[in-house]
Amino acid sequence: MEKINPMDITFQYGYYGYMILYKGKTIGGAGTLNKSRKSISNLEYFRKMAELTRRDILFGRIRPDMKFLIEKINREVDA
């Protein structure tokens, strides 16, 4: 797999979870169905987890499902 451009990996987060995006398409994330009373701490937690996941991807520590989606997106862009 080729090296990933850091500008291609972004994330969005909110009170319910976070999403990791590659070239604008979702490749992963996590979240919860309930908005708890600790909404602010959830927001901070989801931001931190999104940053750590992005960092892991940039350093090459990619889960197989995310790697598959990244390769699929690259094939679609190249076609």
pLDDT in tens, the chain (79 residues): 678 899 999 999 988 899 999 999 999 999 888 777 767 788 899 999 999 999 999 998 999 999 999 999 999 988 7
Q: What distance in Å separates the CA atoms of residue 47 and residue 73, rounded to the nearest whole number? A: 24
Closest listed residue to residue 69, CA positions, set 22, 7, 33: 22
The answer to the question of residue 1 being in a domain is: no
The answer to the question of residue 13 being in a domain is: yes
Domains identified in the chain, total number: 1
Q: How far is CA 10 from the centre of its chain?
A: 7
Which residue segment(s) compose the domain that 35 sits in? 6-78
The answer to the question of residue 66 being in a domain is: yes
Q: What is the pTM of this model?
A: 0.84
